[in-house]
Chain A
C-alpha cells in the first residue's frame, strides 16, 4: 500500500484565492482526519470522517474552510477565500480503528 497520499506537496497562493487540498486514504481505513500544524498552535484536528460521513468538524476554524469526502478513497479540504494566516502544513490521516492514525506527508500551504 502506498500509504496516505496527499497533493499537492506544496502550494503557494495569493490571498483571496481558493485552495483545494486532496487526500487519498489507505484502502480499507474507515476513518479520515484533517489536521493543521503551525509553529504557534501546534497540531490541531480540523475535522474527521467515519465511513465518508463528517462526524466532528468543531476544529474547523471558520466558514472559509470546508471538507468533503465523496467516496471512501478521496477527500478534499477547501479554503475559500484564503488568507495569510491559513499558512500551515495540512495533514491528512486515516485509520481502521481508534488508534494508529497513519499520516500523509502533508501539504505545505503558503498564502501571500
Chain B
C-alpha cells in the first residue's frame, strides 16, 4: 500500500524564522510529488516535483525532491503570520499513458507562525 508520511505533525515558530517541512514516501511506480497549502478551506497548489535535485522556488517557498532517499522538503524562509496553514504533501503513482495516477496524501503539517 502506498504511504506518505509528513513530519513534524505540527510546528510553532515566530515571524522571521525559517522552517523545513519533511515528506517521505513509499509508492509503487512513483510519478510526481505535490505540495499544497491549506488554510481555512480548500488546498491550494504550491509545487509539483518530478526530478531529483532540481529545486522549485516561489518567493520565500522552495522545495526539492530526492528520489533515491524517497523524500522531499519544503522550505519557507522569513516566515510570516500568513504562512500559518496546513501543508499537505501528496504523491502520484504512475498510471498508463498521460492520465493522472492515484494520489496519496500525507497527514499534513500544521504550521503556526506567531507575530
Contacts and interface: CB of A to CB of B under 8 A. Distances in A.
Contact of A104 (B42, B95, B102, B108): B42
Residue of A58, A101, A102 most packed against chain B (CB within 10 A): A101
Query: Contact size class for B?
Result: 20 to 34
Interface residues of A, number: 22
Contacts of B41: 105-106
Nearest to A53: B99
Given A99-B48, A103-B43, A104-B42, A42 B106 contact: yes
Majority-rule SS of B interface residues: strand
Residue of B44, B48, B103 most packed against chain A (CB within 10 A): B103
Contact of B48 (A50, A98, A104, A105): A98
Interface of A: 31, 42-45, 48, 50, 55-56, 58-59, 91, 93, 98-106
A102 B45 contact: yes
Contacts of A45: 102-105
B110 to A, nearest CB: 12
A42 B105 contact: yes
